Chains A and B, each alone.
Chain A
C-alpha cells in the first residue's frame, strides 16, 4: 500500500513495527512506512551516540549493590545494635516512648470531647445542619445527636533528626508483616535517619544483645547509622511494623519470611543535609470528607494506605493522563502519581470506607534550608 494511503492507525502500526526493528538492530526494510519517516527514525538512532557511563562509576555502583545484598543476608550475631532514642546520639528523643495504650486513651478522650463539642455545636449553635455545607457526613453520637465525623490525625513519629542526605535522597514508609514463625528481621544500617513503629502485635527488638519488648504504638528509633537491629515476633499472633526512613540510598532487607508493602515513597534531588524535624502522621478521613486544598511540597510525602482517595490536581505540569481540575481515584494498591512540586491538590475520601493516608513531613532546620537551592 502506498504510504500516503495509510490511515493514522496504519501509520501508527508501521512506525511502531519499524521502531521495534531498529531497537533490535534489524531494520532493513521499512515496508509500508513513508521513506522520510523511516529516514527520521534511522537518523535519530544513528545520532544518538551520547557518552555512556564512566566505568569507575558503574563498577562502584555494582559493588555497592552487591554489598547491600550482603547486608540483606547477614546472619551473624549482631555485635552492636542501636539504642532507642538515647539522648545525645544524634536523634533527639521524643518525650518518652509512645505507649499505645495511653495514646489510645488520650485519643479516645479527645475524640469524646470533640464529639460532645461538635454535637453541641450542631444541636444548639450556628452549625445546625442546613447552615453547614462543608461537613458531608453525620454519624450518631452520644445521646443520638447527629454530629460530623472529624478527620483524625495521629502522630506516629515526631523527632528532630540529623544526618539528612544532601542532594539526592529517598523518603519511604514500609509495612512489614510478621507471622509468629517468621525469622528475625534484620534492619540494616541506613545513611540517614530511620525509625520503626509497631503498628500491631508485639515484637522484640534486639540491640547489642539486649532485648526490648515493644507493643503496638511503640516507636523505636535507630540512632547510629552503622549498627543493625533485629526484630522478632514475641506474641502468638501476627505483628505489623512500620519502617520509615529518609536516606541517600535505600537500605536493603531480606524479604524472605515476611510480607512487606510500600506505603509511601518519594524522593528529592534537593535534600538539605544537616538536621531537621521528621514527622509521620496517619490521617483518617471519614467518607465524604476532604482535606483543605494544599500545594505539593518537596518535603511532604503523602499516599493512601486504605480506602479510596479522590485526588484533584491543578497546575501547569501534571502527571501523565491527568487533567487539571478532574478528579481521579487512587487506592492504596495503585501506583501513586509523581506530582510536581507546586501543584495544587485536593484530597478527599471518594469511597464508602474510611480513607487512611500516611503523611511524612520533613522540615529542614533553618540554617540548612536557607542554603538549599529551590527546585
Chain B
C-alpha cells in the first residue's frame, strides 16, 4: 500500500466514524481472515485488507484458467464484487476457500460463455536484467512445458492443480470445489502422475529431495 492509498484509507475511516457514530475497530493487516470478515460487517475497509491479501492470487488463478489478461481482469472484478455482496451471508471455516469457490464458479461460467482469446502462455516477460539471454530462454521453455503439461490434464484434475497453484491447502481446495478431501487427494495423485509423465520428471529422480 502506497502513501496515497494509506491516506485515502484513513480519510474514509474517519468519515465512517462520523456517519456511524460507533467507531469500528480498524482493519489490521495482521488480523486473520475470519477476524477481518467479522470486522467487514461494520467496517468495509476490512474487506479492503482482504482484497489486498488475495487479489494477486485470485487474478493469477483466473489468468491460469482463462488464459487471457482481459478476461482474467473481468473475472477478478466479478469475484470480488460478488464476495463483497455476499460477505454478510458468508459462513464457513475458511474465507479463502469461499473466495476461491466464487472464483471457480466465475471461471467455469466464463469458459462456458466466451472462447479463449490470446493466451497468457504467449506473454513473455522481456525484462529480466538479472538473467542472461540463455537463462531467459531456458526459463521460458520451462514455463511453456509446464503450461503444456497443465493443458493436457483432464479438466477435473486441472481445476484442482490450479487451485493448488493459487496456494490453497488440500482441505481448502475440497471446500472450494464442494468435494470431499479424500476425493481431492485422489485427483491430486492422478494429476501429479500425469504431470510427471508430461514433464518427463521420471528421468530425473534426484531432483526430489535436493531442491528446497
- Decide if A53 touches B199 in the complex (CB within 8 Å): no
Tell me, in angstroms, the Cα distance from A268 to B44 when the chains sit together. Answer: 27
Among A38-46, A151-159, A217-225, the stretch in contact with B: A38-46
Q: How far is the CB of B188 from chain A (nearest CB, A)?
A: 5
Residues A255 and B88 in contact in the complex (CB < 8 Å), given A250-B82, A267-B78: yes
What chain B residues lie within 8 Å of A37 (beta carbons)?
A: 192-193, 196, 208
- Decide if A51 touches B123 in the complex (CB within 8 Å): yes
Q: Does residue B207 face the partner (Cβ distance < 8 Å to A)?
A: yes
Size category of the B interface is 35 or more
Q: Does residue A361 face the partner (Cβ distance < 8 Å to B)?
A: no
Tell me, in angstroms, the Cα distance from A114 to B55 when the chains sit together. Answer: 55
- Decide if B115 touches A338 in the complex (CB within 8 Å): no
Q: Does residue A270 face the partner (Cβ distance < 8 Å to B)?
A: yes
Q: How far is the CB of A322 from chain B (nearest CB, A)?
A: 12
What chain B residues lie within 8 Å of A42 (beta carbons)?
A: 207-208, 211
Q: How far is the CB of A299 from chain B (nearest CB, A)?
A: 10
- Decide if A269 touches B110 in the complex (CB within 8 Å): yes
The residue of chain B having its C-beta at the shortest distance from the C-beta of A67 within the complex is B12
Residues A335 and B146 in contact in the complex (CB < 8 Å), given A12-B185, A168-B74, A249-B77: no
Among B85, B108, B164, B178, the residue within 8 A (CB) of A19 is B164
Q: How far is the CB of B195 from chain A (nearest CB, A)?
A: 5
Q: Does residue A101 face the partner (Cβ distance < 8 Å to B)?
A: no
Among A62, A65, A320, the residue within 8 A (CB) of B177 is A320
Most chain A CB within 10 A, of B64, B77, B89, B186, is at B77
- Decide if A73 touches B85 in the complex (CB within 8 Å): no
The residue of chain B having its C-beta at the shortest distance from the C-beta of A76 within the complex is B19
What chain B residues lie within 8 Å of A52 (beta carbons)?
A: 56, 59-60
Q: Which of A44-87 contact B (CB under 8 A)?
A: 44-54, 57-59, 61-62, 64-66, 68-70, 72-73, 75
Tell me, in angstroms, the Cα distance from A64 to B44 when the chains sit together. Answer: 12
Q: Does residue B30 face the partner (Cβ distance < 8 Å to A)?
A: no
Among B19, B73, B109, B110, the residue within 8 A (CB) of A57 is B73
Tell me, in angstroms, the Cα distance from A35 to B206 when the chains sit together. Answer: 7
Tell me, in angstroms, the Cα distance from A23 to B192 when the chains sit together. Answer: 15
- Decide if A53 touches B56 in the complex (CB within 8 Å): yes
Q: Does residue A1 face the partner (Cβ distance < 8 Å to B)?
A: no
What chain A residues lie within 8 Å of B156 (beta carbons)?
A: 320
| Proximity string of chain A (309-349) to chain B, C-beta cutoff 8 Å, 1 when within and 0 when not | 00000000101110000000000000100101100000000
Q: How far is the CB of B65 from chain A (nearest CB, A)?
A: 11
Most chain A CB within 10 A, of B72, B85, B189, B206, is at B85
- Decide if B64 touches A340 in the complex (CB within 8 Å): no
Residues A375 and B205 in contact in the complex (CB < 8 Å), given A44-B165, A62-B48: no
Q: Does residue A30 face the partner (Cβ distance < 8 Å to B)?
A: yes
Q: Which of B85-133 contact A (CB under 8 A)?
A: 85-86, 88-89, 105-106, 108-110, 112-115, 120, 123, 125
What chain A residues lie within 8 Å of B88 (beta carbons)?
A: 255
Q: Does residue A167 face the partner (Cβ distance < 8 Å to B)?
A: yes
What chain B residues lie within 8 Å of A269 (beta carbons)?
A: 71, 74, 109-110, 112-114
Interface residues of B (CB under 8 A from A): 5, 12, 16, 19-20, 41, 44-45, 47-48, 51-52, 55-56, 59-60, 63-64, 69, 71-74, 76-78, 80-82, 84-86, 88-89, 105-106, 108-110, 112-115, 120, 123, 125, 142-143, 145-146, 155-156, 161, 164-165, 167-170, 177-179, 181-182, 184-186, 188-189, 192-193, 195-196, 199, 201-202, 204-209, 211-212
Cross-chain pairs A/B with CB under 8 angstroms, 21 sampled: A13-B185, A15-B192, A16-B181, A36-B202, A41-B192, A42-B207, A51-B63, A51-B120, A53-B59, A53-B76, A61-B55, A61-B76, A66-B45, A66-B48, A167-B114, A168-B78, A250-B85, A269-B112, A269-B114, A298-B113, A321-B179
Taking A48-B146, A58-B59, A170-B78 as known contacts, 11 extra A-B pairs with beta carbons closer than 8 A to each other, sorted by chain A number, are: A12-B188, A19-B169, A23-B164, A33-B208, A42-B211, A49-B143, A58-B55, A269-B110, A317-B155, A338-B112, A373-B115
